[in-house]
Amino acid sequence: MRERLEELRKEAEKEIVAAKDEKTISDVRVQYLGKKGHITSILKGLGSLSKEERPVVGKIANELKQYLEDEIQKKSQILKEKSFKDQLQSDVIDLTLDGKKPLIGKRHPITQVLEEITDIFVSLGFSVAEGPEIELDYYNFEALNLPKDHPARDMQDTFYITDDMVLRTHTSSVQIRVMEKQKPPVQIIAPGKVYRCDTDVSHSPMFCQVEGLMVDRGITFGDLKGMLEIFLHNMFGKDTPLRFRPSFFPYTEPSAEVDIGCVMCHGKGCRVCSNSGWLEILGSGMVDPEVFRAVNYDPEEFTGFAFGMGVERIAMLKYRIDDIRLFYENDMRFLNQF
């Protein structure tokens, strides 16, 4: 058996020296050290030897196994380095080719418009407030003068999680949470995502809103009108005409829709404005006394106004976009324009 091991050593050494590539050296490893290799077979057959021969042959076989593993590893490393050098010499690199420029991300158009809206109101003294997107029915409806049997709830197609929990349909719920914790004066905007069961070219089941609230002694509808005029002229230009139309919202009284002159036809009448020359841009009004009572504000002492706008709608008008779904399709041809 010892003679056989010596023969295997000499044969293996010759094959290791003769190996010219990584595949050949890998085959040598399998031939001698694999599960069915020569050295492995000898180690498995030690049980058939006498007690005297077994430890002697076992030691020689294990030493040979370790020796061959080391030699094969050295040869494999040499062949890898040679292969790498050969590849470098054979590859041709054209240094005149243009390099690949990394793609640089851009802020989404909705983010850009949202930041612009926020900057305008912050410059007017408003602070930014946030609240949960999964909201209790109480904050989303009841505290805003919309009890469970109120018909105005049908104005908003709501995603209900449970009977008492919804995906918020507006960020007006944030106003309630702020007023519960803070006594007047209050001057906040509440930007964020809202959710409604509605989708077409001008509606999305998820969209962004900015709600605003100002509460103090002596706040009037004139303050609301002046504040929104400043905002809209900053957003669309100082020559943009605007008008207030009487409307209805459960949490404001009196209420008004605010329109701006059509940015497409400049008031001449077109398909976008239904030939009226005007486009609805936001809703507003004086805070209903019932809302103040829900947060323990004295409506005899304090007054306030609130307003709300869809960020996507403002972005569509600002950038002349006719399909809200373009904002959420992640089409780089569209997004790269911004």
Evaluate whether residue 123 is within a structural domain.
yes
Q: What is the mean pLDDT of the chain?
A: 87
> Residue 324's pLDDT is what?
83
Q: Is residue 104 part of a domain?
A: no
One domain, residues 80 and 117: no
Q: Are residues 119 and 84 in the same domain?
A: no
165-167 and 160-162 strand pairing? antiparallel
pLDDT band at 181 (very low <50, low <70, confident <90, very high): very high
**Is-contact 229 258, C-beta < 8 A?**
no
For residue 35, is it within any domain? yes
Verify that 174 and 285 share a domain, yes or no.
yes
Distant-in-sequence, close-in-space partners of 268: CB < 8 Å, separation ≥ 6: 262, 277
How many other β-carbons are positioned within 10 Å of the β-carbon of residue 232?
22
Say how far apart CA 137 and CA 165 lie, in whole Å: 5
**Is pLDDT at 4 greater than 80 in this prediction?**
no
Q: Kindly state whether residues 125 and 253 are assigned to the same domain.
A: yes
Distances (CA, A) of 288 to 126, 136, 219, 251, 304: 21, 21, 13, 5, 9
97 lies in some domain? no
- pLDDT tens, 243-256? 999 999 889 999 99
- Identify the CATH number of the domain in which residue 320 sits: 3.30.930.10
Q: Is the pLDDT of residue 184 over 80?
A: yes
The parent domain of residue 9 ranges over 2-90
Q: Residue 201: what pLDDT?
A: 63
**In a domain? residue 145:** yes
Between 333 and 200, the higher pLDDT residue: 333
Average pLDDT over residues 125-133: 95
Please indicate whether residue 221 or residue 14 has the higher confidence score (pLDDT): 221
Q: Which of 63, 90, 117 is the last residue of a domain?
A: 90
Report d(CA 256, CA 238) in Å as an integer. Answer: 21
Does 202 lie in the same domain as 304? Answer: yes
Q: Which two tokens stand for residue 316?
A: 């569509």
Q: Dihedral of CA 282/288/291/295: which sign?
A: positive
Residue 96 lies in a domain: no
Residues 122 and 269 in one domain: yes
What's 286's DSSP letter? E
Residue 39 in any domain: the answer is: yes
Instruction: For residues 43 and 159, state if they share a domain.
Output: no
pLDDT tens column, 26-35: 888 888 888 8
126 and 74 inside one domain: no
Query: 37 in helix, strand or coil?
Result: coil
Q: Is the same domain home to 184 and 323? A: yes
pLDDT band, residue 152 (cuts 50/70/90): low
Query: Kindly report the CA angle at 134 between 131 and 138, in degrees rounded to 5?
Result: 80
pLDDT for position 69: 86
- Residue 156: predicted pLDDT: 66
Q: How far apart are CA 76 and CA 6, in angstroms?
A: 23
Please indicate, yes or no, whether residues 141 and 281 belong to a single structural domain of this protein. Answer: yes
The token pair at 54 is 């077994």
Task: Look at 274 and 156; give whichever has higher pLDDT.
Answer: 274
State the DSSP code for 250.
Answer: T
Q: What predicted TM-score, i.e. pTM, was given to this entire model?
A: 0.66
Do both 22 and 140 map to the same domain? no
Please give the Cα distance from 148 to 302 (Å, whole number): 27
Q: Are residues 157 and 205 in the same domain?
A: yes
Write out pLDDT tens, residues 46-103.
777 777 777 877 788 788 788 888 888 888 888 888 888 888 777 777 777 787 888 7
Q: Which structure tokens are listed for 184?
A: 């007047």
Task: Look at the chain and report how many structural domains it folds into.
Answer: 2
